[in-house]
Amino acid sequence: MTHSFHPTVLREYDIRGIIDETLGAPDAYAIGRGFGTLIKRAGGSKVAVGYDGRISSPMLEEAVVAGLNDSGVDALRVGMGPTPMLYYAEASIPEVQGGIQITGSHNPANYNGFKMVFMGLPFFGADIAKLGEMAEAGDWIDGEASGGKGSSEHREILVTYVDRLVEGLNGIAPESLSHLRIGWDAGNGAAGPALELLTKKLPGEHHLLFTEVDGNFPNHHPDPTEEKNLADLKALVAAKNLHFGVAFDGDGDRIGAVDGEGRVIWGDQLLMIYAEDLLKMVPGSTIIADVKASSALFDRVSALGGKPLMWKTGHSLIKSKMKEVGSPLAGEMSGHVFFAHEYYGFDDALYAAVRLIAASARLGKTVTELRGEMPAMINTPELRFQVDESRKFAVIEEVKQRLSDSGADVNGTDGVRVSTPDGWWLLRASNTQDVLVARAESLSGEGLERLMGKIDAQLAASGLERGPQAGH
């Protein structure tokens, strides 16, 4: 038996497709067969499986479990919940050697996909491509012929997971937090039930929005990195005079936040708060952020005595780098925040929210004060524009070559990030779509215009123009 995946489905960081167009039950079964085979060959025997709140998720979960079982691997089914709950199961249950979460993350309702962990490590890039090669060749272990089919058991871990989240406040007197008033927006995503349970266990007053899981996302799109999706949270914070508000994406691994004045606290700004707190506890630590993060973050980490490390965009790439250099904290502009300090090193937006409460308490400042202390940088959002798949990486190489010939100050970690007296600009190729991504940051509006002019000039030199924005 063999299987061919649609060419758009197997991506750099995860597997993602449109239900009944590019992704369906046969694909999920093949993923289970391939992943199960790799687990068996590595000496494992059991995989944790979870799923998000999308309409199609239970169907895909059934198929992936069947695939695992037919490869002779046992499935530990932890049910519906946020992706970090599945990561927690994989990290904390000794008899489990891998994990698969069925999730479409922040994509539209008709999408779905898979995120995986293999023997405690991120499963991405060449690993995902390997699943496609194995399916094409029918290179799967037959469980029946090699020791018997795998078993399937359900295990409830939501309560244990939430109890572990609350440990993020260890050492802080509950009475010092009892005055807090916090708003929360689950966006009808998979974090809702965990959030309801978590806020019952936290000190203070909590106001919750959209915790009912609904894969149609009736209130707003579950992507907290787009400011328009934070409108309900801002309104709640203003109406109830709350200290701050937190929002989650569809599968609960990315955080968004607003302060008491309704100002957005972007991913790199949250990392500035976490870094200040962490470097007091673990001085001199290496703190990682992706190439899209503000220079203000890297400067702040240095000023606090930490070692800033700029790295490639992508949750799998960041997690791998953290393990390599022993970093206790990392983050991305996209709202993925990774704590290895007193946690497991995976991206968990619920845990990040708890650590925001803890940071504010330990630093003795409100979240609004911490946000107000940050330098007033002027920057673009993430600009995306369509480019032919066959050209996107070639364009970046052409830009690199021209810049190196001109003696510009270039960081080539992921695309090109160019520092100038006006600030910096970035151009990189997306690993998941046929788009180029640009971003620029300056201390002045005029400086930002000059930086955007530099991006336009480089694109023009490669026969492109910024043109219309591509969506997510």
3-state secondary structure of 22: coil
Helix axes 83-92 and 158-166, enclosed angle (nearest 10): 90
Taking the C-alpha atoms of residue 55 and residue 217, their distance in angstroms, rounded to an integer, is: 11
Q: CB under 8 Å, gap of 24 or more: what pairs does 406-411 form?
A: 411/291, 411/310
Sign of the Cα torsion 439, 440, 446, 451 reads negative
The distance from CA 421 to its chain's CA centroid, rounded to whole angstroms, is 32
Kindly give, in sequence order, each residue whose CB lies less than 8 Å from that of residue 303, ignoring residues fewer than 6 positions away.
Answer: none
Three-class DSSP labels, 287-352 = EEEECCCCHHHHHHHHHCCCEEEEECCCHHHHHHHHHHHCCCEEECCCCCEEECCCCCCCECHHHH
- Residue tagged active-site, from 56, 71, 105, 334: 105
299 within 8 A of 307, measured Cβ to Cβ: no
Of 34, 38, 43, 39, the residue nearest 15 (C-alpha): 34
- The H or E element that residue 31 is part of is helix 25-41
Strand partners, 114: 15, 102
In the residue annotation, 105 being an active-site residue is answered as yes
Tell me the two tokens of residue 89: 């199961």
Taking the C-alpha atoms of residue 5 and residue 21, their distance in angstroms, rounded to an integer, is: 11
207 within 8 A of 240, measured Cβ to Cβ: yes
Alpha helices in 181-230 (DSSP H): 192-201
Taking the C-alpha atoms of residue 317 and residue 319, their distance in angstroms, rounded to an integer, is: 6
Instruction: List residues with catalytic annotation.
Output: 105
